[in-house]
Amino acid sequence: MSPEFRDAAVQVTYLVASVLFIFSLKWMNSPQSARRGVWAGVWAMVLGVGGTLLNPAVAVSSLPWIALAVMVGGLIGVPLSKVPLTAVPQRTALSHAFGGLAAGLVGTAKYYLWLHEGGANLTTFRMFAISAEVILGFLTFTGSLMAAGKLQEILPGRPITYRGQLMINFLTLGGAIACATGLIINPQWFFLFPPLVILSLAFGVMLIIPIGGADMPTVIALLNAYAGLSAVAMGFVLDNTLLIIAGALDGSSGLILSIIMCKAMNRSFSNVLFGAFGSAQEAAGGEAGKTVKSASAAEAAEIMGQADEVVIVPGYGMAVAQAQHRVRELYDQLTKRGIKVKFAIHPVAGRMPGHMNVLLAEADIPYDDLIEMEEINPEMPQVDVVLVLGANDVVNPAAKNNPKSPIHGMPIIEADRAKTVLAVKRSMKPGFAGIDNELYTMDKTLMVFGDAKAVVGDMAKALAGDSGMH
Amino acid sequence: MTPFLAAAGPSGLTAYIPLIFVFILATFIGLDVIRNVSRLLHTPLMSLTNAISAVVIVGAILVAGPSVSDEHPLWITILGLVAIAAASVNIVSGFLITNRMLKMFKSRKPEEKS
């Protein structure tokens, strides 16, 4: 094959791959077509890699080494795809780290390669793109590792703060940008490159440690956007349209998801990144004078058994207790009696965007019964029983009524407007964000204390036993 | 590896205008397509875009690909190979886990209506 033909073949495969990547995401618009979307993505990747191997610059002698590297990655990738669904947020963060690392390394390699050649290829624009790629790539790498560590609870989930933190963070990022500016002015100032890498790595760590566990859904989405943008920067470095298109798709996905997450918590980006949410816990303890009413699982089951409509509000606590399959049994028992059962899903339920839907889908709950917050709230006054299961902040009326609450203004699932509220909780300890919840002390609320899995199991059993008597 | 736009200008931004067009249009398509993704599927969406962003393997192959020589030192090739391995982790795990999660999404079965 002549080099011209090969160049043309590379461009055509990239074109087809780009179109397939767009369709891959487009088909994610409904559960019916989504699996087709995965296949489109797989084919796009195969074409992208295959097309690149056609590039005349890739020597035949390198192919075995490339194949070996792919196999090593694949061997790590397969177990990473089999993690329990509760661990998907960590896995996602970890894979952002791998993506960031790859981008950072390629940027570094290209810089030294072109410097080694004499620097004619290190144009101003390319140096700008390399700097962006290296900063974004390496900060995504360490930042995602920190996020994964927090989600896996290897690192403390509470924000780590210290005096002058904001200043030090800005100086670190400022230092990295100063190095980048120097390199753009004169790419031959190679002594600026190692500090650029080190400061970017350090900034990734410093950016994430002051952010609390409750904000991780937003952080993961934001890191997703950074990973995409570093791929775009790589595309500009290498004059590669496929990288630019795929990176832009990824970047816009991360951006939209982080906007959705921010809106769902009524926070701004800067507030998430610099607010050290959850560190303020001074107002705790005001609950002391109020009493709560409690009920047994069997009593709660009886109340549900008499309802026409039950809405279950699941939270991450349900998944931690591994209660999904018991929830399915409860769902079956209730629907068997002709009771309408719906699940109210808050956008930040779980630990990443859409997490709760996946957790319930795993327990075979049909997705038709998973209802978004905005759709379920207007129905709430007609709902007989709301069962709050491991959720806390997303049903806290303080978000509406108490301007002093740290979550004030956050949209919530309005469980407090239902006729009866049943809340399953291990104890009266405040939730992930460390805030008291007045829903539990309302007159129409009955607390069912205990482990979610055991309690829901008992409820299902009570309903099953009871139905025989009718 | 002659970049197809390198001939257009040595350092000028103008050579990159077509690529900037591509970037902007792709971002608009991306924003529009993602906005229509069902909220049900945001977790699989994220693992899918994980896999898609591993397209950086293309850049890694271009770095690791040329045969080792005085102009292309071994350590550059090694950086490229590490990047290929890192990207491959995402390709393999990203597509597999997305598919695994999507298989779990089922609609209400007709027999349950009885």
- Phi, psi (deg, nearest 5) at residue A254: -60, -40
Please say if the pLDDT value at position A434 is more than 60. no
- Which sequence spans correspond to the domains of chain B? 10-105
List, for residues A67-122, the tens digit of each pLDDT value.
999 999 999 999 999 999 999 999 999 999 999 999 999 999 999 999 998 888 89
Taking CB atoms and an 8 Å cutoff, what residues of chain A touch B97? 80-83, 88, 91
| DSSP symbol at A130 | H
- Per the CB < 8 A criterion, the answer to whether A367 and B40 are in contact is yes
Q: In the structure encoding, which two tokens stand for residue A177, read together?
A: 């940008």
pLDDT at residue A71, rounded to an integer: 97
pLDDT at residue B110, rounded to an integer: 55
Q: How many angstroms away from the CA of A41 is the closest CA of chain B? A: 7
Q: How far apart are CA A124 and CA A6, in angstroms?
A: 29
Q: In the structure encoding, which two tokens stand for residue A198, read together?
A: 């080190």
Taking CB atoms and an 8 Å cutoff, what residues of chain B touch A368? 107-108
Taking CB atoms and an 8 Å cutoff, what residues of chain B touch A357? 39-43, 105
Q: The complex's ipTM?
A: 0.89
Q: Which of A307-311, A337-341, A429-433, B31-35 has the lowest mean pLDDT?
A: A429-433
List, for residues A26-69, the tens digit of each pLDDT value.
999 999 999 999 999 999 999 999 999 998 889 999 999 999 99
Average pLDDT over residues A280-289: 44
Q: In the structure encoding, which two tokens stand for residue A454, read together?
A: 């055991």
Q: Quickly tell me which residue has 């889908």 as its tokens.
A: A361
pLDDT at residue A280, rounded to an integer: 43
What order do you get walking across the sheet with A340-345 strand by strand? A370-372, A340-345, A309-314, A385-389, A420-425, A445-449
- Which sequence spans correspond to the domains of chain A? 3-274, 297-467
Active site residue A393: yes
With CA atoms as reference, the chain A residue closest to B79 would be: A105
Length of chain A (residues) = 470
Q: How many angstroms away from the CA of A429 is the closest CA of chain B? A: 29
Q: Which helix (H) or strand (E) holds A324?
A: helix A324-336
Length of chain B (residues) = 114
Beta strand extents in chain B (DSSP E only): none
Average pLDDT over residues B67-93: 94
- Put simply, whether B17 touches A (Cβ < 8 Å) is no
- Which residues make Cβ contacts (< 8 Å) with residue A425, sequence separation at least 6? A317, A390, A392, A440, A447, A448, A449
CATH top class, domain A297-467: alpha beta
Q: How many angstroms away from the CA of B106 is the closest CA of chain A? A: 5
| DSSP symbol at A294 | B
Local confidence band at A296 (pLDDT 50, 70, 90 cut-offs):
confident
pLDDT at residue B11, rounded to an integer: 53
**CA quadruple B35, B37, B38, B41: dihedral positive or negative?**
negative
Tell me whether residues B88 and A123 touch, CB distance under 8 A. Answer: no
